[in-house]
Amino acid sequence: MNIFLNGKQIITFSQSIDALRCEYGFPEGSITILNGFGVQDSALSENDRVHILEKGTTPDKDTLEELLYARHTPMIQDKFKKACVGIAGLGGLGSNIAVNLARTGIGRLVIADHDTVDPTNLNRQQYRIRHLGMYKTDALKAELGEINPYVEIINVNRKVTEENAAEIFGGCDIVCEAFDNAECKAMLVNTLLEKLPEVKVVAASGLAGLGSCNDIRTRKIGSRLIICGDGVSEAGCGTGLMAPRAAVCAGHQSNAVLQLILGEI
């Protein structure tokens, strides 16, 4: 029968995953994925898409893309792969958004920040002890490279200002605002909407403390602006910025990006 093995079309007489594994000399205990879903063993059918990967090895670009296509369906993944998304600020929101989008296989990410990683970041941001003292752009690019090394990462180690925002994010389809300062948030949103008429903006407002995550929601404000958050909570004594709500709000922003790419909102 004709099947696809690790992205390549082959002809095989094997009738099961186990038989195919033996036929091609993959070691016992290899990771096996049939049509996008992990299996131990299964019967094979015509035109099945099978991936067999040795544990601990990095899949090549074609194999990883095949897995994303299988998981997300080809028409959807094609749109993700062609998209360019900017992220302004790489803290609790931005670093989590970047990880989500890299896992999804967004084709290009423009990540911008001028700060370095310090110990106060470790409670909610996607950094590790080994990143302390590094520029966030460099640390996050390294992290993303271990998640999906085939996403193009453009890291901009600059403070995003009213004067340079359009230059930094000019090639993006969508930009995520991920600052923690209200004035900076307003500056970026207003600048992008005014100077980049084709760009859509996904911003955040209200994610501090340990209030119900159900209060965080996604709202469309006009044709080009999405705002995620509860719209109320601010960081302060007793209502600090913590991992759960930061990650939930970042998830809302990430999901809004994907919906915008697909034309669903």
Does 126 fall in a domain?
yes
Shared domain check, 191 and 105: yes
Count: domains in the chain: 2
Q: Give the amino acid at 255.
A: N
pLDDT tens column, 46-81: 999 999 998 888 888 988 988 898 889 989 999 999
Shared domain check, 118 and 7: no
pLDDT tens column, 9-39: 999 999 999 999 999 999 988 999 998 888 9
Does 185 fall in a domain?
yes
Q: CA-to-CA distance for 224 and 200, rounded, in angstroms?
A: 5
For residues 122 and 133, the answer to whether their CB atoms sit within 8 Å is no
> Which pLDDT score is estimated for 234?
83
The pTM is what? 0.92
pLDDT tens column, 110-157: 999 999 999 999 999 999 999 999 999 999 999 999 999 999 999 999
Distance in angstroms between the alpha carbons of the first and the last residue of the chain: 42
pLDDT tens column, 167-210: 999 999 999 999 999 999 999 999 999 999 999 999 999 999 99
Last residue in a domain, options 58, 86, 101? 58
Reduce the secondary structure of 87-140 to three states and give it as a string.
EECCCCCHHHHHHHHHHHCCCEEEEECCCECCHHHCCCCCCCHHHCCCEHHHHH
Shared domain check, 81 and 50: no
Does 68 fall in a domain?
no
Shared domain check, 152 and 27: no
> Which pLDDT score is estimated for 138?
98
Q: CA-to-CA distance for 136 and 156, rounded, in angstroms?
A: 10
For residues 46 and 28, the answer to whether their CB atoms sit within 8 Å is no
Q: Which domain holds residue 95?
A: 77-262
Does 200 fall in a domain?
yes
Q: CA-to-CA distance for 248 and 193, rounded, in angstroms?
A: 25
Q: Give the amino acid at 86.
A: G
Does 241 fall in a domain?
yes
